[in-house]
Structure 1
């Protein structure tokens, strides 16, 4: 069965997400390695207070994604494709054997720190559900013409978009869109304005660190959510990881590409479930499962 593993981005985090794992050697090994590299227990990363900081959120999502994907592999469930949303791309690269887990920990720790330092407060992201792309793009362009710092950051589905920018500009954009079309607007649990030009400088700083890391060609197909295409060269994966914080996410186009390639099963790593609901719209006859809700998950699923 042609299978894809998906890895959620910031906003999917939950308090205690690294606790209560199955009593299995795969999880013990991941925990021991992560705690050794970070010189701190995992419980320091996933408390409600700790998850207010981007560094901890991003590390927790990386560690969770790698642990659960490795566990699935131990159950003889392997990925033909891997795709991560934003920080999820790092776990995807680890599972594709393009990036070592140790190097991913170091890079993600730096990534979270750079992003948090650049925008400690007053910025974030906002989701719009139900509006047309044309309306969202017009509204964003109108506000940008007024020097309002707001951008279209994520194209997640045919009617689901995410904006990034300063908090007041996000609210202004939501109001402007809702004056024209009926839609829902919700601020995300993301404290930085990801996937827009505001993060060019942090991405450039991260790129210097990425350049010192050895990448390998992926052993399964690695999909860039920014490019909506399969990437096979090690240097292209390195570029994708270094700069994805500042690049627009084309999740819907990347997902459609997977469907066109004949994907039959999509498994989303904990603690996410949103990516699963997005895929179910495109793959109604396939198997789209959030592993976090499948406590008895086995290969026969």
Structure 2
């Protein structure tokens, strides 16, 4: 009964998230390594002021995910697969042995910078809950123009979708979606229009930076939430990481795939539990490390291993 580690994306961030990490030697080393690469103390990035920045949010999510997974795995049974939503894919790639942590820190800082510079204001993302893609897609198409760009960005569950685009366009789609029966249309804490064609140019620039990076074949099963496939080829993983900011997130399909290949326990890395809620309908067990003691999670992983 294999264990899948999941890594959240933007919107999951919380003030003090790095300071809340467990007092563990491997966590301390991970924080120190990130600080060395950045040339500053990474702990200063998790206050409310810094978390208004896309760069700080993405760095904090990377560091929290890698540090938590390392501490969990050092003291307990192994994991068998990883999957990350958006920026979470970088933490997943590090834990799977495909990408070095130092390279991930440098790339994530650049990624956040490119995204923020592309759309410094007037854009973002909105969650639409309660209608399916067949209902939402024509509403988005009716609003989407060069002047009012908007796209479906995240397919998180059958009736949990996220749109990305300009403020005006998202407001109009939200009105139409609520009139069509959506339960909620709510802005999420992401200041850029991720996972759509608006970030194609930024993704191309990030892909150029990967020319200086070595990506290896993963030692754990690496599930891409952009491709909704398991990837093993380093070239494909490189492309996946570089391009994922401009590609829709297909989380629901990815989790269906992970279950189909016998992943039974899903363990979400800090700081949130959103992925756990999305996994629970499909997995026999899905837990968030922020909601359960590490030793209790290790017991579950051990049982999964023995089973």
Equivalent residue, structure 2, for 1:289: 287
What TM-score does the superposition give when structure 1 sets the normalisation length? 0.97
Counterparts in 2 of 1:19 and 1:145: CA distance versus 1, 3 Å:
closer
Check conservation: 2:128, 2:182, Cα contact below 8 A: no
SS in 1 for 2:299: coil
Equivalent residue, structure 1, for 2:253: 253
Check conservation: 1:125, 1:191, Cα contact below 8 A: yes
C-alpha distance in 2 between matches for 1:245 and 1:117: 14
Moved more, 33-42 or 51-60: 33-42
Equivalent residue, structure 1, for 2:81: 81
Shift of 1:228: 0.4
Shift of 1:264: 1.1
Matches within 5 A, 1:154-193: 154-193=154-193
SS in 1 for 2:212: coil
Shift of 1:178: 1.3
Check conservation: 2:129, 2:182, Cα contact below 8 A: no
C-alpha distance in 1 between matches for 2:254 and 2:21: 30
C-alpha distance in 2 between matches for 1:182 and 1:156: 15
Equivalent residue, structure 2, for 1:300: 299
SS in 2 for 1:14: coil
C-alpha distance in 1 between matches for 2:127 and 2:225: 18
What TM-score does the superposition give when structure 2 sets the normalisation length? 0.95
C-alpha distance in 2 between matches for 1:114 and 1:172: 27
Equivalent residue, structure 2, for 1:206: 206
C-alpha distance in 2 between matches for 1:212 and 1:258: 31
C-alpha distance in 2 between matches for 1:257 and 1:267: 16
Structure 1 gaps of 5+ residues are none
Matches within 5 A, 1:80-159: 80-144=80-144, 147-159=147-159
C-alpha distance in 1 between matches for 2:34 and 2:244: 23
Structure 2 gaps of 5+ residues are 301-307
The alignment covers a number of residue pairs equal to 299
Equivalent residue, structure 1, for 2:304: none
Check conservation: 1:14, 1:271, Cα contact below 8 A: yes
Equivalent residue, structure 2, for 1:233: 233
Displaced runs of 4 or more, over 4 A: none
Equivalent residue, structure 1, for 2:305: none
Shift of 1:168: 1.1
Check conservation: 1:291, 1:297, Cα contact below 8 A: no
Shift of 1:143: 0.8
